[in-house]
């Protein structure tokens, strides 16, 4: 049991899990836009990019004087800095190698996003200190990487009604699952003097904001189906994942454990991708 816990902590807190979520969301987009491409090389690049950026920012974490604020996740990060740095190096190496197996125009798509991601946490800039910038930076980068860039690589016209609708749907989805993480980090962000949406709106209103986003997300999925973007099987898979997402987001609060957020909410990205790939392949 101890080994299983150590392994699960490594996968979850070492950001391998969230990196897999990025790859799954890319595949989800390809299914929803009915692409004939699988973009495996790009999915691998996105996986390693996420692994690199997320672990790189963990290197800059500073322990708070109040030890009670050290959650299971942050305690693991402080005690496993060698592992974090090794994973960041593996991520960087993976990006360097997989880059050459992708269309070279990928550099024009991803370079601005890399700069924005670094600006999010680097001490000299730290966009995360601004409540709305923190949230919108995360949502924008994830939407671009998992929805906009796959559409561009698929050689699809970005300004079609269906593609713009899908991008909006992904944006709302990412907004809904990113907001609860600000709720989770309420006390830690306060100690770091980082103002977030829960500090501005309060925890209860912030949670309702996230729930409203999930409700809008479900309505947009129905609109996508009605507009003929995908078949009934894909619609059922999306709807099932959306309903599970809604329950998880609804149950989020500042007292939930780290595992609820990292495994549960990050897992919604993996769930969506897996369900859609199954629906597309088997049904």
For the chain, give every domain's residue range.
2-282
135 — phi, psi (to 5°)?
Answer: -70, -50
68 burial type by CB count under 10 A (0-12 exposed, 13-18 middle, 19+ buried): exposed
Tokens of 102: 């992708």
What distance in Å separates the CA atoms of residue 38 and residue 27, rounded to the nearest whole number? 7
pLDDT tops 70 at residue 70 = no
Instruction: Say whether pLDDT at 280 is over 70.
Output: yes
Helix, coil or strand: residue 76:
helix
Token pair belonging to 254? 């500042």
Contacts 24+ apart (CB under 8 A), 274-279: 274/24, 275/237, 275/238, 275/240, 275/241, 276/27, 276/28, 276/31, 276/32, 276/234, 276/237, 276/238, 276/241, 277/24, 277/27, 277/28, 277/31, 278/237, 279/31, 279/233, 279/234, 279/236, 279/237
- What whole-number distance in Å separates Cα of residue 255 and Cα of residue 250? 13
Of the listed ranges 67-81, 180-194, 210-224, 254-268, the one predicted with least confidence: 180-194
CATH of domain 2-282: 1.10.600
- pLDDT per position as a tens digit, 222-274: 999 999 999 999 999 999 999 999 998 888 877 788 888 888 989 999 999 99
pLDDT (0 to 100) of residue 22: 97
- Per-residue pLDDT, averaged over 72-80, amounts to 88
Query: For the residues 168-187, what does the mean pLDDT come to?
Result: 86
Secondary element (H or E) of residue 165: helix 161-184
| DSSP 8-state class, residue 252 | -
């Amino acid at each position: 049991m101890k080994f299983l816990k150590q392994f699960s902590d490594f996968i979850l807190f070492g950001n391998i899990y969230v990196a897999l979520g990025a790859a799954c969301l890319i595949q989800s987009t390809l299914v929803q836009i009915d692409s004939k491409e699988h973009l495996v090389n790009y999915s691998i690049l996105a996986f390693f990019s996420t692994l690199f950026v997320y672990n790189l920012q963990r290197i800059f974490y500073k322990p708070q004087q109040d030890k009670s604020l050290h959650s299971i996740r942050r305690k693991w990060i402080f005690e496993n800095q060698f592992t974090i740095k090794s994973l960041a190096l593996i991520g960087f190496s993976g990006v360097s190698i997989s880059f050459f197996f992708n269309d070279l125009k990928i550099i024009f798509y991803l370079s601005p996003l890399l700069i924005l991601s670094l600006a999010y946490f680097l001490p000299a800039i730290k966009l995360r200190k601004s409540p709305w910038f923190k949230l919108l930076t995360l949502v924008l980068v994830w939407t671009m990487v998992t929805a906009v860039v796959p559409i561009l690589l698929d050689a699809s016209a970005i300004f079609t009604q269906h593609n713009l609708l899908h991008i909006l749907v992904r944006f709302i989805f990412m907004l809904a699952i990113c907001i609860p993480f600000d709720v989770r980090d309420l006390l830690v962000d306060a100690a770091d003097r980082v103002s977030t949406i829960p500090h501005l709106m309060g925890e209860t209103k912030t949670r309702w904001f996230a729930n409203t986003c999930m409700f809008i997300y479900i309505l947009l999925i129905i609109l996508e189906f009605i507009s003929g973007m995908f078949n009934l099987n894909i619609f059922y898979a999306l709807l099932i994942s959306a309903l599970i997402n809604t329950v998880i987001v609804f149950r989020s609060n500042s007292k939930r454990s780290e595992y609820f957020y990292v495994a549960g909410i990050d897992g919604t990205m993996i769930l969506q991708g897996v369900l859609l790939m199954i629906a597309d392949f088997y049904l």
